[in-house]
Chains A and B, each alone.
Chain A
């Protein structure tokens, strides 16, 4: 499984765009990149998943450069309710090996 590195914490003011970058230098050809969000006292929930270029949904955008050695989760105009831990997971979609959650990035949004 590809090892991921992401910042331990980030602070942002309300209304700003937040970009969280994840490094995954040894990503394999079959690996996808998945991001989860975890609020305090809750289990994580899926945000977005991608393989290359850009993916956008109603919650976030995911930017993946051509070499796929990193990815950036972009949260537009954050609010206080976006305060959470964000996990970047990288793994193959073939076989049975589960994805591994790291320590994640703790995002604090300030009023």
Chain B
């Protein structure tokens, strides 16, 4: 199993550009999450999904959009990039939100810089 994979690893965007961060998991997990982590800070939840076709906002959803058309994929879309979105983005997945099955498995992250 590859686990959770993210692409790209690094990206530099100009202000106002758009991009999609890709996330795929091969563990047949129902739950998927997107976090951002600013330097020296903890993780903040952007969006999450409890299954295909279902998404919900986290703590910091403004400026982002997500979709979940399949169990495996959970792309994160930035429509109009702003310098405040410079961060490291982590995707994670878990089998469920309950009991021991809520253990989250994280991808390697995407380092995004907006100039």
Which residues of A are interface residues toward B (Cβ below 8 A)? 34, 36, 41-46, 49, 85, 87, 93-104
With contact pairs A43-B92, A98-B58 given, residues A103 and B97 touching in the complex (Cβ less than 8 Å) = no
Within B29-44, which residues are at the interface with A (CB < 8 Å)?
31, 33, 35, 41-44
Residue of A nearest to B56 (CB): A96
Q: Once the chains bind, are B106 and A101 in contact (CB under 8 Å)?
A: no
SS class, residues of chain A in contact with chain B:
loop
A-chain residues with CB within 8 Å of residue B90 when the two chains form the complex? 43-44
Name the one of A36, A49, A102 contacting B100, with C-beta atoms under 8 angstroms: A49
Q: Once the chains bind, are B106 and A98 in contact (CB under 8 Å)?
A: no
Query: Number of B residues whose C-beta is below 8 Å from A?
Result: 28
B1 within 8 A of A: no
A to B CB contacts below 8 Å, 19 in the list = A34-B102, A34-B103, A36-B104, A41-B109, A42-B106, A43-B106, A44-B104, A45-B106, A49-B103, A93-B98, A93-B102, A97-B97, A98-B33, A99-B104, A100-B59, A101-B43, A101-B44, A102-B42, A103-B41
- B75-115 Cβ-contact flags toward A at 8 Å (1 or 0): 00000000000000010100001111011111111000000
B50 within 8 A of A: yes
| Across the A-B interface, the 9 shortest Cβ-Cβ residue pairs | A43-B106, A101-B43, A103-B42, A46-B103, A93-B98, A43-B90, A101-B42, A96-B50, A93-B99
A-chain residues with CB within 8 Å of residue B48 when the two chains form the complex? 98
